[in-house]
Structure 1
Amino acid sequence: MSTDFAPTFEKKFHQKVIPGLLMVLEDDQNPRVQAHAGAALVNFSEDCPKPILVQYLNEIMAKLEAILSAKFNELVEKGTKLVLEQVVTTIASVADTSEEQFVAYYDRLIPCLKYIIQNANTPELKMLRGKTIECVSLIGLAVGKEKFIGDATEIMDLLLKTHTEGDLPDDDPQTSYLISAWARICKILGKQFQQYLPLVIGPVMRTASLKPEVTVMDNDDMDEVSGDDDWHFVSLGEQQNFGIRTADKASACDMLVCYARELKEGFADYAEPVVKLMVPMLKFYYHDGVRTAAAQSLPCLLECAKVKGSSFLQGMWEFICPELLKAIETEPEINVKHEHMYSLAKCIETLGKGCMTEDSLKELLRIVDAILKQHFERAVERLDKRKDEDYDEVVEEQLEDEDNDDNYTLGKVADIIHALFVTYKEDFYSYFDHIMGHFVKMMEPDQPWSDRQWGLCVFDDVIEFGGPSCIKYQQYFLRPIAEGVSDKNAAVRQAAAYGCGTLAMNGGPAFAGTCAEVLPRLAEMINDPESRLEENINSTENAISAVTKILQHNSASVNVDEILPHWLSWLPVWEDRDEAPHVYGYLCSLIETNNTVVLGPNSSNIPRLIAIIAESFHRGAICQKHPVAQRMISIIRQIQSSGEIFQLCVNQLTAEQQVALSELLNE
């Protein structure tokens, strides 16, 4: 129930479930019941919103610590380990959800857990040791580097000792726990983990290179291992099944991705052997997770290899590119295909202009063209199925899943086009012309909302990265952008509003008239009574940002002073972190130049301006290190130096705003 009905189940029934499970955890007479209670608590805490779980943290941890201590003694006296294994896993799960709140229990738990890792050396305790290794690394990730650093070296030494004292056999349960723990510790330590790389890379590479174990099983044999995620089955008839066991290969591949992502140039020496391992695994059809990890690793490995020089990097890309293009075209699983497409987009962005040869660019456009043709064909098929006499709720559910998959595929196509525009700017126009018709069609009013959304996103890139040259496409994008601002769907409105803003910033003076024409539509969207609802807030903030960009960058046909009071009344914004710097940057410019409309007669708007800035920091709208945030802080300090006016302003703030302001000024 915790898993199937998450997170509604957790939100509604936490008051019943958590105390109930804690009560059953005390059933010392029935260890299996205790273990199941611990397992159920794992399921519950995994999907439980953090603020809810934290309310019960003291009760949960008091119980788990007591059981850990009692069962540890029981292990020493009687050798029973069932409940102990489970409790260690439950502690790990609770730490994972509670994150920094778990720091209060760290000092009491870690010594006991380290003792288990040190002393659980016999074959029958391998699983307990593996789960304890997992627990310690998850606690480290939860509490963060500052708290964990004191134990990190000792824990890494304990884990490495396992391998240096003799290689573990491939089927040792500790292997997967060790490999995952090293990756978590790498995430915690960052660059400081580099010293351990020569020691851990061997076992991880060996596990990632494992050949799958293939066997034929009858139904009874299959039932015995059916709960094991490492096994995948293909039926060969009524009684026989083709079983493939990929052991820990997928998780080892994930760990290599983690090392490359976290260590960057620190992983450069391993980039070549890892890329030679990963590229062929784009076709490892036994396991989706392996192919996914192979795709995810590629942009990270290219990033690592940059320090090796451009010719090394180019050679690596020549090895990757044709295989990645083939994999995108032939991948049978739609979710994995999406990963391959996203990987290609990231590779192009990582390498920059000139990375694609003429031939590879043509091949990519041929593949994208085929994907988009299939998209429209499938949409027609679904339309026919909805008119079919066999159409019912079950069919509709299946069709909705297909709709969602297609929507996601369009998103990945947009990622690739975005990467090409970011990299090649207006030089990509001549290639874009070959597939442009698809995106024009997607923006037609009778298309589904997801088509309209992604069509607009692609033309947003045409404007943003092509600059004033985008005028050659204006016949295609002007009407959809202007009408999209008033669309019923929030995602379409957001893409259209972003287009208005980028037209103002990047389109040049030729679009001054268009900017003036879309202003009333943007204002209407922002002033709608439901504009700040959760489902509308992002499109609304994009509209506010679009108005900002028009006022700041393309206001030749606009009366700025007339619009500024309305604009000011729409602040603060905080939801869209990408757009917030544009809005607050403009606000700073207006204050810094003593704009009379914004400051008000006799500076009467200052309390309101301080409240906007305080609320933006309280909501985390903008990172404190951002140059715009620094300008906002300078403005606050300047007003602070003017004496008692500042204190009057502060007194009018909410308690949260006062705290945010106080933290800013005490930095």
Structure 2
Amino acid sequence: MSEEKEHEDAIQDLMSKAIEILIFEDKLAFDKSNEDYAQMAFEELIELTKERPDLFLPHLKDMFQCIYQILDNSEFEEKTRFLAEELMVLLLLHYRDEKPVLLRTGKFISQILSRLQDIDDDPSWDGNDNFDDDSRVFVQGVKRLAQYAPAIGGQFILEKFKIMFDFNFFSEKWQSRHAVISCSIIARNCPKESINELDLLVEQPMKAVDDTHFRVRWAAINAIQEFSKNLNPDFQFQYKLLGLFYFSNDCTSGLLTPYMDEIVNKLLRCLQRGKQLLKEEALTAVGSLVSSSEDHFQVYYKTVMPHLKVIMMKAAAESNSVLLRKSIECITMVGLAVGKKMFSDDIQMVVQSLISLQESKLERGDPMRNQVLRAWGRLCKCLGQDFQPYLGVVIPHLLQSAQLESRVTSPKYTETMPVLLNISKASMEKGYVEGYQGLPFEELCFYTIPALVEALHKEPSMEIQLTILDSLEECMEMSGPTLKTEQIKRFLHIILEILITSSTLSRSRVEYEQIEKIHITAGDCLITFTEVYKASLSQFFDQLLSCMAYMRMIKMPKERRTAFRIFSDVAEKCQEEALKYCEGNLRFLFDACYERNPEVQQIVAKCIGVSAQFGGAIFKSHIKEALGGLNSIMRDPETLNPDYLPAHDAAVSALEKYTFSMMSNSMKLRFSEELIHNDNAHLSKVIAVFAEILWAGQNLASKGTVNRIIEQLGTFRAIYHPIHGHLLSSLAPSRAKILQLKLLS
């Protein structure tokens, strides 16, 4: 055997023995009692790594599992953890991108993030995180990240595990978002030279300044302070314009006006003399400034627009896609803000640029595709009916993108969709669309509405969800019944999923306000759907009325109102067929009458009225519960409270619908029989309620309603004359007297 072979075998033998000392069957093979042997093994492996790193390739999974288990356990001696960290650094130099290394490192980072999420929601928190308290799991997470991030590599962590950070940052749990922001400690502990892409570290804390939870906002402000200290001057250079973007984005026009001259002058200097990165940020800042200042930007138009056009033309000539995309975005935002009269001289140049970009056959994943669509959208909104000449160019591109299900969820773009469809409809009806002989308007809707539905499904931002819902409702109202059955089912699934899922989430005050708006807007969208597709609603009962089954889960009054609204609308359009489908859930309807919330009582009373008017035989078996619920609303102790008057009026109206529906045409005799059976219980209840309303006068009902009640009581007296005296004697004297007086008058 050659000496070289003997040396190789000796090294392999040493390697195997060292690994056996450290790990066995996926677990550490040692404890504190034999920690000395582990330290010797690490020392041997460190020397081997320096000489023969290739020997470790088959053992990476075991080695990194062993290393991270030791680093994660504070019970081991400091020397053991130091040696494990040194071996980790050496192995990362050679095998940073190997799959076993990424998997084990990802698990280690995930464990740190879990520790960072262990933080209480304490409203009385005073801003002190008390990092000296090592017993707190959150503090342990912070210190582990601070210690090991430099060894693993700040850029490596941020780049390789970006999906993990993004997942937590967009979580509904504020603790998860707070954990991601806490990772800004990487800036303090890693050399700034090791972080090549600042966006990976800075972007999320910058956005989190507007977070709905005060702890996340506080962490974001502290993170920005850390960046200013530890990433200077790169951070200031790159993000001062981003700071201006966030500042102007959240300002009203009135707040911005005193600073406009100074801000515009500084942005112009960046546009004229800045490097590309600075120009990109300056264009973004101009767009934000324009959106917030609105027509106040008109005085700066002639100064700013020439610079924007120069950047756009130069970017197009040099095929600089990033600057071209940002300059087109900025120019069309400016045009939308100042209006078509001021923008008119520059529109044609922008249109030619957009047409040129479309003809360049942009690939599906190219960001420019969405930007072109958004730019057309802004032009459409700016020009209104004057946009007609460009429809022949825009519609094929719009349809292609809709068929590819592009994620075009920009608020400005989705707001434009109804405008574009409206212009398209008018133009196609009048034959104004030049150069386009393609799909009719109905098929244009057939593609664009599902694209908005999918955008709604994918969009995490509640603010943009609201914009999409508004546009979806307008487009559906305009389009008519153009969707196929599967598309309708998909629409209903996503709308109801938004309603039901958001109802079960915990939320802050700000989040609640947003969710309330989503519920109202989604409800409006569904009501519009039922109107447009009323001829075929019955085949979608299982989805439309599934909201009734969630009454037990939904606790917030505003959200319960949405579910009742849907029921009321479907019942009105589909009548007895709808009630038959959800008869088992009517109990929720009657129980809700006894809730001490006037908004819920109002919509529930309307639901009962609709059910009484159109429910036929199905409703008859629930008369007792329905009358009891309405009676409870009208006899509520809060009767004279102005907030409760709409609920009382709705209950009165429901009672009217009940009596009129039962007395109509051929049902008159059956109604008489039903009212007088069971010891006149139903009839006496109705008259008792009417007497209460007459006694309260216009405090409970309008003059018109009171007159209709008197007319109805006159009818009762004529039909039930033999028992009329008996019914009056069952009332309180004051009520019986007012009833007699009203009938005599």
TM-score, reference length from structure 2: 0.46
- The aligned residue for residue 479 of structure 1 is 631
Give the counterpart of 1:74 among 269, 273, 289.
Answer: 273
- CA positional deviation for 1:437: 1.5
Alignment of 1:356-375 (within 5 A): 356-357=537-538, 359-361=539-541, 363-364=542-543, 367-372=546-551
Name the SS for the 2:647 alignment partner: helix
Q: CA 1:296 to 1:7, structure 2 compared with 1: closer, same or farther past 3 Å?
A: closer
User: Would you say 1:44 and 2:247 are equivalent positions?
Assistant: yes
Matches within 5 A, 1:496-511: 496=647, 499=650
Asked if residue 167 in structure 1 is aligned to residue 349 in structure 2, the reply is no
Equivalenced residue count is 429
Q: Is the 8 A contact 2:336 2:382 kept in 1?
A: yes
Match for residue 694 of structure 2? 516
Cα 1:331/1:435, change in 2 over 3 Å: same
Q: In 2, are the aligned partners of 1:265 and 1:303 still within 8 Å (CA)? A: no
Using the TM superposition, give the Cα deviation of residue 475 of structure 1 relative to its aligned residue in structure 2, in angstroms: 0.7
Q: Per-residue deviation at 1:101? A: 3.3
Asked whether 1:62 is paired with 2:220, we answer no
Question: What is the 5 A alignment of 1:286-305?
Answer: 287-288=458-459, 300=474, 302-305=476-479
Distance change (3 Å), C-alpha of 1:366 and 1:552: closer
Q: Given the superposition, is the C-alpha separation of residues 264 and 416 from structure 1 closer, same or farther in structure 2, using an over 3 Å criterion?
A: farther
Distance 1:286 1:70, change over 3 A: same
Q: 1:249: which partner in 2? A: 407
- State whether structure 2 residue 532 is matched by structure 1 residue 350: yes
SS for the counterpart of 2:537 is coil
Instruction: Work out the CA distance in 1 between the residues paired with 2:381 and 2:549.
Output: 39
Residues 1:263 and 2:415 aligned together: no
Q: Classify the secondary structure of the residue corresponding to 1:104.
A: helix
Residue 236 of structure 2 is aligned to residue 33 of structure 1: yes
Q: Distance in 2 between matches of 1:458 and 1:136?
A: 50
Cα 1:56–1:342 shift into 2, 3 Å: closer
Alpha-carbon distance in structure 1 between the residues aligned to 2:306 and 2:397: 27
Q: What is the distance in 2 between the residues matched to 1:114 and 1:553?
A: 68
Paired letter, 1:64: I
Mapped to 2, the partners of 1:44 and 1:548 lie a distance apart of 53
1:321 aligns with: 488
**Distance change (3 Å), C-alpha of 1:5 and 1:434:** same
Shift in Å, 1:439: 1.4
2:602 maps to amino acid: L
Work out whether residues 456 and 480 of structure 1, in 8 Å CA contact, stay in contact via their aligned partners in 2: no
Shift of 1:287: 3.1
In the TM superposition, what is the alpha-carbon distance from 1:88 to its structure 2 partner? 2.2
Report whether the alignment pairs 1:199 with 2:417. Answer: no
Alignment of 1:387-536 (within 5 A): 409-421=559-571, 423-424=573-574, 433-445=583-595, 449=597, 453-454=599-600, 456-463=602-609, 475-482=627-634, 486=638, 493=644, 496=647, 499=650, 513-517=691-695
Distance 2:336 2:565 in 1: 31
Q: Is the 8 A contact 1:92 1:138 kept in 2?
A: yes
Cα RMSD between the aligned structures?
A: 5.2
SS of corresponding position for 1:169: coil
SS in 2 for 1:121: helix
Aligned residue identity for 1:478: L
Measure the CA separation in 2 of the matches of 1:86 and 1:489: 55
- The alignment partner of 2:536 has SS state of coil
- Relative distance call for 1:476 and 1:188 in structure 2 (3 A) is farther
Q: 1: CA distance between counterparts of 2:645 and 2:382?
A: 36
Q: Deviations over 1:165-187 (max 9, x none)?
A: x1223444433322222222223
Which stretch of the first structure deviates more once superposed, 198-207 or 508-517? 508-517
Q: In the aligned structure 2, how far is the partner of 1:287 from the partner of 1:44?
A: 27
- Structure 1 residues 324, 103: closer, same or farther in 2, change over 3 A? same
Separation in 2, partners of 1:176, 1:355: 35
- In structure 2, the CA distance between the partners of 1:254 and 1:91, relative to structure 1 (3 Å rule), is closer
Partners of 1:320 and 1:288 in 2: how far apart? Answer: 19
Which residue identity lines up with residue 444 of structure 1 in the other structure? Y
Cα distance, 1:197 vs structure 2: 3.1
Change in 2 beyond 3 A, CA 1:253/1:99: closer
SS state at 1:115 partner: helix
For 2:189, the equivalent position in structure 1 comes to: none
* Residue aligning to 1:92: 287
For 2:547, give the aligned amino acid: V
How far apart in 1 are the matches of 2:415 and 2:396? Answer: 15
**SS at 1:119 equivalent:** helix
Counterpart-to-counterpart distance in 2, 1:481 and 1:129:
63
Residues 1:175 and 1:63: Cα distance change in structure 2 (over 3 Å): farther
Please list, as runs of the form range in 1=range in 2, the aligned pairs for 1:370-385 lying within 5 A after superposition.
370-372=549-551, 376=552, 378=553
Q: Deviations over 1:418-474 (max 9, x none)?
A: 4325645788666665532211122324x7x5xx74353142254479779999765
Q: Which runs of 5+ in 2 are unaligned?
A: 1-205, 215-220, 222-227, 429-439, 504-517, 661-685, 713-745
Q: Go from structure 1 to structure 2 and tell me whether the alpha carbon gap of 1:519 and 1:279 turns closer, same or farther (over 3 Å shift).
A: same
Cα offset for 1:482? Answer: 2.7
Q: Distance in 1 between the 2:353 and 2:235 partners?
A: 30
Deviation at 1:289, TM superposition (A): 6.0
Q: 2:337 aligns with which of 133, 142, 156?
A: 142
1: CA distance between counterparts of 2:486 and 2:379? 31
| Residue 107 (structure 1) shift | 3.7
CA-to-partner distance for each residue in 1:305-328, whole Å, 9 max, x for gaps?
A: 44xxxxxx4x73545334445556
